[in-house]
Structure 1
C-alpha cells in the first residue's frame, strides 16, 4: 500500500501507476502507525487533506474551512472541530481520518485495515462512505481480514497469503478451495524461518 501511495520504495520491482499522479491517491495507514499524542485539533487534522491540492505552505481559505465542516458532518462528527484528536475514541478518530480523505477528494483511495479495533456502528457508517465512493467512480483498495466484509462490500478481491492466491470476482476468489490454500500457507509460515535459495538457484 505504501509503495502504491508513493511513501515507500518497493524492495524489488517497481510500481506502475500509469499516468496516475501520487497527489491523486488518498492513503489511510494502519491506526498503529499514527501518532495521536501530537497536539492537533480535529479541524487541523481533517484540513491536512487539502494539502495535496494547495501545497503545505499555503494558507487554508474559508472555503477549506467550510469543506472541513462538511466532511466532519458527513462522518457524523459535526461540532467536533475544536476537539483534540488525543481525546477521541478509536472509532471517532477513524471517522476523522475518513473526513480527511473526503477533503483530499482523491480518485484512488487506499485503506490499510481501516476497520480494525473500531465499533460496529462506526464500521457500518464508514462502509457506507466506501460504497458512496465506489458509486462516484472512485477506486477503493482496502486491506481486510474479515471475509464477510469483503463479500458484502467489495466486488473484486486479491487473496494473499505470503503470495497472491487468486484475483478476480469476489464470489469466485473466496471459494472454499482458495481459502483453504491461503489458510494452509499462513499456518505453515514461520517468521523465524531461514532464507534459503531454491534448488534451481543453487545448481
Structure 2
C-alpha cells in the first residue's frame, strides 16, 4: 500500500529521524514504537499528508493517498466542541455521503451497531464535553467502525484509559484488521505489541528496525536495557 524510501521526518525542513525505508502492505497491522521524540507521531502525520517529509520519497500503490482515518492523541482534540456522541460517530459516513449528504437507513444502522459495539448506545445523545476520557476514545473508535477507511492511523489510542477500555479497543482494532483494513498504531506497551501486532517499526536515534514483531523486539532488547524510556508510558 505504501512504500517509504529513505524518508526523513521532521518539521520546517529540520530532520528528527534517521532515514526510514520499507513497505506498509495492504491489510497489515503495524505497531510504531520508540522513545518520545523519535518521530512516531510525525510519521503518522506525514503519511496522512499533514506534514511533508524532510527528504526521501513516499509513494502509494494507487499513486494517490488512500482514503484514511487518522486518530491523533487525545490532547490534540477539542473536548468542548458543542456536539453530541451520535453526531460525532455519524461523521464516519461523510466520505460516502459528503458533508451535506443525507444519512440513510443503512448508515443509521451502521452507526447504531458501532455505538453498541463500544458500549455507548445509552450515551448517544450525550454532549461530548460530558464524556470521560475512556468514553471519548470509545466514541472515536465507533466512528472508525462506521468510516471503514482502507488505512487507519492511530496515535497512542490507549493513553489515559483504564485496562477494561483498553481491552475493548484492542478488540475493535483486531476487528478492523479482520475486515482487511491496514493499521499503523503508535504504542508504548511492548507486551501489547508482542501479543497482538504482527509487524513493528521501531524508531530511535541510533537504529530503525522494521519487520516481524518478535524479531524487532528481540533486536531492541539491549537498547531498551540501556534506555528504559523506550517504552515508557506517557
- TM-score band (shorter)? 0.7 to 0.9
Give me the whole-angstrom Cα distance separating, in 2, the residues matched to 1:20 and 1:119.
40
Q: Bigger CA drift: 132-141 or 98-107?
A: 132-141
Give me the whole-angstrom Cα distance separating, in 2, the residues matched to 1:183 and 1:18.
38
Give me the whole-angstrom Cα distance separating, in 1, the residues matched to 2:64 and 2:165.
31
Partner in structure 2 of residue 171 of structure 1: 214
Q: Which of 117, 122, 131 is residue 88 of structure 1 equivalent to?
A: 131
The offset of 1:29, in angstroms, is 0.8
Higher strand share: 2
CA distance 1:62–1:12, shift in 2 (3 Å): same
Q: Which of 161, 164, 167 is residue 121 of structure 1 equivalent to?
A: 164
Deviating above 6 A after TM superposition, structure 1's stretches of 4 or more consecutive aligned residues are none
Q: Is 1:47 paired with 2:100?
A: no
1:123 is paired with a residue whose SS is: helix
Partner in structure 2 of residue 162 of structure 1: 205
What root-mean-square deviation, in Å, do the aligned CA atoms of Structure 1 and Structure 2 show? Answer: 2.0
Give me the whole-angstrom Cα distance separating, in 1, the residues matched to 2:66 and 2:87.
19
Give me the whole-angstrom Cα distance separating, in 2, the residues matched to 1:27 and 1:5.
7
The offset of 1:118, in angstroms, is 0.4
CA distance 1:102–1:148, shift in 2 (3 Å): same
Q: Which of 65, 71, 89 is residue 114 of structure 2 equivalent to?
A: 71
The structure showing larger relative contact order (alpha-carbon pairs under 8 Å, at least 6 residues apart) is: 2
CA distance 1:138–1:163, shift in 2 (3 Å): farther
Contact 2:145/2:176 (<8 A) preserved: no
Higher helix share: 1
Give me the whole-angstrom Cα distance separating, in 1, the residues matched to 2:122 and 2:98.
26
5+ long unaligned stretches in structure 2:
1-43, 230-234
The offset of 1:181, in angstroms, is 2.5
Give me the whole-angstrom Cα distance separating, in 2, the residues matched to 1:22 and 1:59.
26
Partner in structure 1 of residue 59 of structure 2: 16
